[in-house]
């Protein structure tokens, strides 16, 4: 092979001979067996002082997926149609005060309030709650920082929740979809609808292993100006995280206790079984949250 010839451009036999030598340069990490238990990037091995090529490419792919999730626009029409089919009443399509995605990302405060047209739309509905007694719960879906999470998980999760609420006396508002919305936009929606509680389902900030994570935020007596201390949060709702049934189980408990005690946030604790899986309290004491024992 010529001294000036680049590596890997020789004959097929020469390239094949180089391949095992290149593979041998990857040094395995002794913790590699632990990778089966987590999606975190641990025990990747090394090549000299660098990452091997495969983990580096996987990292770049995950980073691209997270960026795409943040900038993705929410496809409202099929979501609204699915919500109408599930709850039997048309969904209300609203928008935050952030006029565009760029503004939304730069001005979080604008994502926490409705724009004027959306506010007027809800003001016209005031006093129209079932039997004019208001709603027990307002359902608000917001794209947040991952429209992908909303498009993939909202409908199957709400189907699980609706099955748990079906046998109980819950008066639900028309489902509301807010584009460019932050968590606190639910406070204004709930207040304008006259709801006793509001549930915000929102796409969470993507991580490098979870571009599609959905969060649930429950607030009793919603009104503009509340802080996060007034909310209960259930996060990482997705099949690879907290499964739909488990999240519905935990949320149903919080909804029931919130209505019974008329509060939410730091004053209301999740005392369900740890994994919340269809257990309904059937897990042994050893499986419960040790902090509550």
For 101, other C-beta atoms within 10 Å of its C-beta total 17
Residue 41 has pLDDT above 90, yes or no: no
Is the pLDDT reported for residue 282 higher than 60?
no
The per-residue pLDDT for 113 is 98
Q: Per DSSP, what are the bridge partners of residue 137?
A: 172
Q: Please give the average per-residue pLDDT across 138-159, as a whole number.
A: 97
Q: Between the CA of residue 1 and those of 9, 20, 21, 23, 249, what are the distances in Å?
A: 9, 19, 17, 21, 67
pLDDT at 4: 45
Summarised one tens digit per residue, pLDDT across range 97-112 is 999 999 999 999 999 9
Residue 230's domain spans which residues?
Answer: 70-292
Is position 148 within any domain? yes
**Is 125 inside any structural domain?**
yes
Whether 276 shows a pLDDT value over 60: the answer reads no
Q: Do the domain assignments include residue 13?
A: no
Work out how many domains the chain is built from and give that number: 1
pLDDT per residue as tens digits for the range 78-88: 999 999 999 99
Is residue 143 one of the residues assigned to a domain?
Answer: yes
Residue 23 within any structural domain of the chain:
no
The pLDDT, as a whole number, for residue 285 is 43
CATH code at position 188: 3.40.50.11240
Query: Mean of the pLDDT values across residues 10-36?
Result: 67
Q: Which is nearest to 176 in space by CA: 79, 72, 256?
A: 79
Contact 275, 283 (CB under 8 A): yes
Average pLDDT of the chain to the nearest whole number: 86
Residue 266 lies in a domain: yes
User: Which residue is associated with the tokens 């609808």?
Assistant: 193
In a domain? residue 225: yes
Q: Is the pLDDT of residue 117 over 90?
A: yes
The answer to the question of residue 265 being in a domain is: yes
Report if pTM > 0.85: no
Q: Is the pLDDT of residue 283 over 60?
A: no
């Amino acid at each position: 092979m010529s001294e000036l010839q680049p590596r890997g451009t020789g004959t097929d036999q020469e390239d094949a001979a180089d391949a095992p030598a290149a593979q041998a340069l990857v040094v395995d990490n002794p913790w590699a067996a632990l990778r089966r238990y987590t999606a975190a990037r641990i025990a990747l091995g090394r090549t000299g002082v660098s990452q091997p090529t495969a983990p580096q490419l996987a990292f770049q792919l995950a980073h691209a997926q997270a960026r795409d999730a943040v900038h993705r626009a929410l496809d409202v029409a099929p979501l609204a149609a699915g919500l109408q089919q599930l709850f039997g009443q048309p969904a209300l399509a609203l928008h935050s005060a952030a006029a565009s995605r760029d503004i939304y990302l730069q001005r979080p405060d604008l994502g926490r309030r409705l724009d004027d047209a959306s506010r007027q739309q809800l003001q016209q509905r005031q006093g129209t709650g079932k039997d004019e007694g208001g709603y027990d719960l307002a359902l608000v879906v917001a794209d947040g920082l991952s429209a992908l999470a909303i498009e993939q998980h909202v409908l199957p999760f709400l189907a699980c929740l609706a099955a748990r609420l079906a046998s109980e006396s819950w008066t639900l508002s028309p489902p509301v979809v807010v584009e460019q919305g932050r968590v606190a936009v639910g406070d204004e929606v709930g207040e304008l609808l006259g709801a006793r509680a509001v549930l915000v389902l929102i796409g969470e900030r993507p991580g490098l292993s979870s571009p599609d994570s959905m969060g649930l935020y429950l607030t009793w007596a919603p009104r503009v100006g509340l802080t996060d201390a007034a909310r209960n949060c259930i996060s990482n709702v997705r099949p690879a995280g907290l499964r739909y049934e488990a999240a519905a189980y935990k949320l149903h408990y919080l909804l029931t206790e919130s209505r019974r005690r008329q509060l939410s946030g730091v004053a209301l604790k999740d005392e369900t079984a740890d994994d919340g899986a269809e257990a309904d309290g059937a897990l042994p004491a050893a499986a419960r949250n040790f902090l509550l024992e």
